[in-house]
Structure 1
Amino acid sequence: MSSRSSSKESQPLLSANRDQDASSYHSVQVSESSLPIDDPPPLNQVSRVQLFWILAGLWSAVFLGSLDGTIVATLLSPIGSYFNKSEQSSYLGTSYLLSVCCFTPLYGRLSDILGRKGAMLLGLTLFGSGTIACAFAPTMEALIVARAIAGMGGGGVMTVSSIAISDLVPLKQRGLYQGMTNILFGLGAGLGGPFGGWVNDTLGWRAAFLLQAPLLLVSFTLVALKVNIKLPNEIETQSTYSKLQRIDFMGSFTLVGAVAGLLLGFSLKTTEELPWSHPLIWGLFCTSAVFWVAFILVEAYWAPYPVMPLRLITQRTPLAISLANFLASMTAFSTIYNVPLYFSAVRLNSSTNAGLHLLPHSIALSTGSMIAGWMMRRTGKLYYLTLASVGLTIIASICLALWDDYTSQYHLWLDIIPQGFGMASLITTTLIAMIAGVYKEDMAVATGITYLFRTTGQVLGVSLSGAVLQSILLRKLRQRITGPGSLEIIEEIRHSISSIPGLAPAQRKAAVESYADALHVVFICHIAINILVFIACVPIEEHPLPGTLQEQEEHYRNQQLAQNDTASAVDSP
């Protein structure tokens, strides 16, 4: 599915009669001829009751993963105080996110080797083991390691559930199911904070991890009993040893090393406030570069079943979608972290009030994905919906960059809504575009790649925006606060926002204005990055979205025919 630059290459990949509509650069047309009567039935056609139980198993795992994330965020302060190591509490989140980013792409290929059930059970086992280990961790260091183990499975839970739903639901309806997934994810994230705080106040923080065990057991049981998704016969009939031989161990190892070195370098730059010239930062970046080179060589020349096929990531649509997800996730998570900071440090609101300003964003996230899914089911189109979604994020970024002392409460509460709605719609449409634009055998791996770029963007968005914020903030504070004791005051302002209301009026004004200037620069960066997201989305091709599983099988057969014809044309003299 390479770029179509010549007339011969512009023959549609999915069309049975190979007639392409030349009027649309982004559309690949497909014949609407009916299926032959002797076509085999879809591999994974299930009844509504069966689908209900399968989704119950998958979605319970997704709900648990999102619940756990906000539970831990609420417990950072109590855990840090318990071990008397509050300065290390941020690593509980960092270790989990780093682990998720490193291991998420591996589950795409693992789900093709172990099966959807096997990969999902592996993810739940690792996630559950890490979560239970957190409850009994004797030291902060052990707790950080346990969170990393949980992250090894947490990323897989999200990825494999998405892959499994794609096996069972035709592409035209896939967006609606993704919307329902996002609603459950948002519900778990919304309940996790209050639940974690209540459990900590009544039973202690360790109980917050232990009380996840019953739901984890329910999810594991449902997946083990109900998620029976068949793979092609050539994989199903292989022995366990043969399946293990298909695992790209070298590719997986080098990919984990490459991603870990990159993200750890950026995370240490932000959390430890190390300079860019620090040997540890450069050492991690250089190590990451070496692993990236090794990974590319392994995938190109060594691995028979690459964990991330280079032929896939270099194609037009997958490459565009990967870049768009990476950049959009950077601004999305930077927004989530920095908007509450604006209300705490600039408007001097309470933490509760600052957090409440994200509520419209959360509602928009839930509804945006559902509405995008409904529109795709109704129209069968996604290209212009994708561009419109990015347009909404650009509008939101501009609105946030215009915030000042005279901005009305109406805008302060509602300006963030287009960001949540647009981002939810974007990740839904691009996921469907990715699945529709690759061959059937690449669907699981392509889904894993999408989640890799998304989670990596999330981590880098928080790290880089934090680095930009602190750099501008420090410079502005040094300009505005001088005299005896100024260094101590500046450090206190940078590390404890709660100290700002207690400062002398002149110093308080300087702190507020410095934070406002720094956040203004961050929000301007969001505008620039979201414009890049729009540019990245322009090359995305729009493939037909089958409305039934039968049509979807025909869709994949046409892909295979086109692939065979292309190979024959290349081989012929």
Structure 2
Amino acid sequence: MSPSHAGRDSSPANHGIHSPRERQMTETTTLLSKQSPQTPTSDEKNSPVHYRGPINGTRFKFLLVSILFGSMIAFFDSTLMASAHPVITSHFHASNAASWFSTVFFLTSTVFQPLYGRISDTIGRKSVYMFAIFMFFASTAWCGAAPDLGSFIAARAVCGLGAGGVMSMGGILVSDIVKIEYRGIYQSYFNMSYGLGTGLGAALGGWLCDRFGWRMAFYSQLPFIILFAILAAASCPSGLGPNLAENSGKTLRQTFSSFDTYGAMCLTATTTCLILGVNLGGNVFTWSHPLVITSLVLFLVAALSLYFIERKAEYPMLPIPLLSTNPNGSLMWSNFFGAIVINTVLFNIPLYLQAVRQTSPTTSGLYLLAPLAGVSITAIFVGYYITITRNMKAPMTLGTIVVFLGSILTTTCLSPEIPTWAIPVLIPFCSIGQGFFFPPTSIAVLALNPQDEQAVVTTTLGLLRSLGAILGVAISSWVMQNSLILFLQEYVTSADPAQKAWIIKIVRESIAAIRDLDPKHKRQVIAAYSASLRMTFLMCIGVSFVSIVLIWPLKVPRLQSHDKGRNGAFDGQDEARGDEQEAGPVRPLSLLDARDQVAVEYEDDGDLLDAIDEEDEEAGDEGDDPEAQLSRTGRLNDDDEIGSNSGAIISRTTTRSMSRASNSLAGSLPRAGSLRRQRSRRASFDLNWR
């Protein structure tokens, strides 16, 4: 069923995280139905296609090309500052302001990701996507024309808003138009776009500044952004997404009145204060600086406010159950910790190469091509592997192990004495682990959540990854700088205390000063830098182990073919459906049937049954829960809603068709207790959990 049809028939449901409204089952709705409401067409059976929704094959290809092309430009711009900022800061005579260029960009691109998802759910994807492209174009032109430092920093902040929207909306659109079983392939294309964009940005940024001037580094992007805008405007359908303002049955004013305005404000304040606090503390200012303390205090206040607001919001900006219940919670937080490790390594590898190995900035940039190539190639392989095998748990687990191994190798092996050829062999391990780890996680969280929540799921995962990246850089910088002070004091020796203090001062301010030292002090300073980096990488070992702990015991379902079972993302449903059809007429699956079938796989540990028991008790206290009503009377009222918070296995779905079948079977449905006693005899319904 296309997203547009789903939107016309129903409004988004609450899968533990949405409002209780009727909705029809979509491809990624994980309710275990016994009967598909829509029969695949003969064309789909004979010639399966990768796309879905209000789009044809030609338009799908053009839209995909525009998404990948635009994302590559946005990734290019995000890494441009890595090599261009020395020229720009020199032009404005403000070398100490270099950190603000990247900080404000990542601040706005991170903060507004969840807003893009929820707003596009409300007014449609295309208008929000085109707005992001316009902001990206206008702010890039502003960067090139900025007359002073303050104007340039403001332009970079707006550019983060536009580029972040292009990247997040690109992922949302891919989830809208690509069938779940083929999403691994297209996720690999997305990762390839990331590798090309970031690699070209880091490599060409400095060359453009040296050859044509730093303003041309921004002006040169404008023709490509215009081409991207034309492709997107021509290829992006208007009917993608839930489009609540049009399809919810409410007026525009009523729709926007349910928008989570307070949640958006608190989420913006929470992420802004956190990013400012950790970026400025220990790097730009001391941790006791009033601005740092104020930022961290406001972060705590805003975070607590966000928690209580989102618990009651009808359409929450940041769904709390998405982060607190398994398997979604473990998948999300494992990516957060993984991003901390990966970005800590990537951020500090250039420092190792230039300070410890004494390579030039150009050479260190070339070394970084190895991890970028590693993550791109691995992601492509994993995408095809998932599409063929439909198994997400294996690459996910392997990825966390490779990241952990990479952390150990960087901690123990990157010393001043290792041979040069070993460096490009050792540093890509964490990035290769990222290629194994991140793509299947993205697909898993999408498959485990309803179609009308794909935008919020995508942006929430992106938010956690971005926060992990920012925290990785900030925390590792703090560990590095504080360790460096201690090791320089220990390793640097001199008969003259003033000379020792002078050496420590100049090598902390500029690593280029190391080359001008006498051989004795040069060896001492290099040893201090090497020991400090070892302490920084040591932190990665512990954090990467947390990701393993979160992923290893997790039960992740295999993807189900769209053509075999159009209403779920799980394998094994179709055989059961066939058995039921042979036995006689089928009826829609009730919550009690579904949960008992699911409980077969959880009989030993009882986790799911315990969770259902807790919800049953809560429902009993309320007195009007539809499930309890079904258990008592064997029937559902026409306006009742079935709901469950048992992970991401049983989601809310349309109940009117279920009530008709239930009314005809009044009194014949077994009670919950008898279903529990019979669960061991219904093991033929296999969800293929791995």
Q: TM-score, normalised by structure 2?
A: 0.75
Aligned residues, how many? 546
Residue matched to 2:402: 392
Q: For the Cα contact (< 8 Å) 2:323–2:333, is it kept in 1?
A: no
Query: Which segments of 5 or more consecutive residues in structure 1 lack a partner in the other structure?
Result: 3-11, 18-32
Would the aligned equivalents of 1:130 and 1:147 in 2 still touch at CA under 8 Å? yes
1:103-502 superposed matches below 5 A: 103-228=112-237, 229-232=239-242, 235-237=245-247, 240-272=252-284, 274-301=285-312, 303-403=313-413, 404-481=415-492, 482=494, 483-502=497-516
Match of 1:37 in 2: 39
Aligned CA distance change for structure 1 residues 76 and 563 (closer, same or farther; 3 Å)? farther
How far apart are the structure 2 equivalents of 1:38 and 1:463? Answer: 51
Within 1, Cα distance between the matches of 2:566 and 2:93?
Answer: 57
The code of the aligned residue for 1:495 comes to: E
- Name the SS of the counterpart of 1:275 in structure 2: coil
Q: Which residue of 1 aligns with 2:549?
A: 535
8 Å contact kept, 1:394–1:530? yes
Q: Counterpart of 1:316 in 2: which secondary structure?
A: coil
Gaps of 5+ in 2: 1-14, 17-28, 45-50, 574-587, 596-624, 633-690
Q: Is the contact between residue 327 and residue 556 of structure 2 (CA under 8 Å) also seen in structure 1?
A: no
- Asked if 2 retains the 8 angstrom alpha-carbon contact of 1:436 and 1:544, the reply is no
Give a deviation string over 1:154-212, Cα, whole Å, max 9, x none: 22211111111111112221111111111122112222234333332333211221221
Contact 1:386 1:430 in 2 (8 A): yes
- Structure 1 contact 175–376 (Cα < 8 Å) conserved: yes
Do the aligned partners of 1:106 and 1:252 also contact (CA within 8 Å) in 2?
yes
**Residue 25 of structure 1: aligned partner:** none
SS in 2 for 1:231: coil
- Distance across 2 between alignment mates of 1:349 and 1:306: 49
CA shift, 1:251, in A, is 1.0
| Separation of aligned partners in 1, 2:589 and 2:220 | 52
* Mean CA deviation greater in 396-405 or 280-289: 396-405
- With 376-385 and 455-464 compared, the bigger mean Cα shift is at 376-385
CA deviations 1:485-510 (Å, max 9, x no partner) are 32222121112011101112221111
* TM-superposition CA deviations, 1:216-257 (whole Å, max 9, x none): 111112212211043347653466545433432211111111
What is the match of residue 48 of structure 1?
Answer: 57
Amino acid at match of 2:231: L
Kindly report the root-mean-square deviation, in angstroms, between the aligned alpha carbons of the 2 structures: 2.6
Deviations 1:453-480 (A, max 9, x none): 0000001100100000011110011122
Give, in whole Å, the separation in 1 of the partners of 2:299 and 2:115: 18
Q: Any conservation in 1 of the 2:123–2:245 contact (CA below 8 Å)?
A: no
1-structure distance, mates of 2:243, 2:216: 45
The structural deviation recorded for 1:13 is 5.2
1-side partners of 2:435 and 2:392: how far apart?
14
Write out per-residue CA displacement over residues 99-125 of structure 1, whole angstroms, 9 at most, x where no aligned residue: 111111211112211212122112212
The separation in 2 between residues aligned to 1:422 and 1:249, in whole angstroms, is 38
Q: In percent, how many aligned pairs have the same letter?
A: 26
Determine if contact 1:400/1:523 at 8 Å carries over to the other structure: yes
The 8 Å contact of residues 172 and 547 in structure 1, kept in 2 or not, is answered as: yes
Q: Counterpart of 1:160 in structure 2: which amino acid?
A: M
- Kindly state the Cα deviation for residue 45 of structure 1 after the two structures are TM-superposed: 5.6
1:223 and 1:239 map into 2 onto residues whose CA distance is 29
Q: 1:71 aligns with which of 66, 75, 80?
A: 80
Report the CA distance shift for 1:401/1:457 in structure 2 as closer, same or farther (over 3 A).
same
Q: CA deviation at 1:73?
A: 2.3
Change (3 A) 1:421 1:252: same
- Mapped contact 1:344–1:497 kept (Cα < 8 A): yes
Offset, 1:35: 6.7
CA 1:94–1:518: 2 relative to 1, 3 Å: same
1:6: which partner in 2? none
Determine if contact 2:52/2:178 at 8 Å carries over to the other structure. no
> What's 1:99 paired with?
108
Aligned to 1:508: 522
Measured against aligned partners, the alpha-carbon deviations of 1:487-535 in whole angstroms (never above 9, x if no partner) come to: 2221211120111011122211111000000111111111111111111
- After superposition, the C-alpha distances for 1:543-562 in whole angstroms (9 at most, x for unaligned) are 33133367444559x9x967
Matched AA of 1:37 = T
Give, as a single letter, the amino acid of the residue that structure 2 aligns with 1:388.
L
2:424 & 2:557 partners in 1: Cα distance?
38
Is the contact made by 1:45 and 1:549 (CA closer than 8 Å) also made in structure 2?
Answer: no
User: Aligned equivalents of 2:159 and 2:363: distance in 1?
Assistant: 31
Change in CA separation of 1:38 and 1:365 when aligned onto 2, cut-off 3 Å: closer
Rg larger for: 2
Deviation at 1:570, TM superposition (A): 4.5
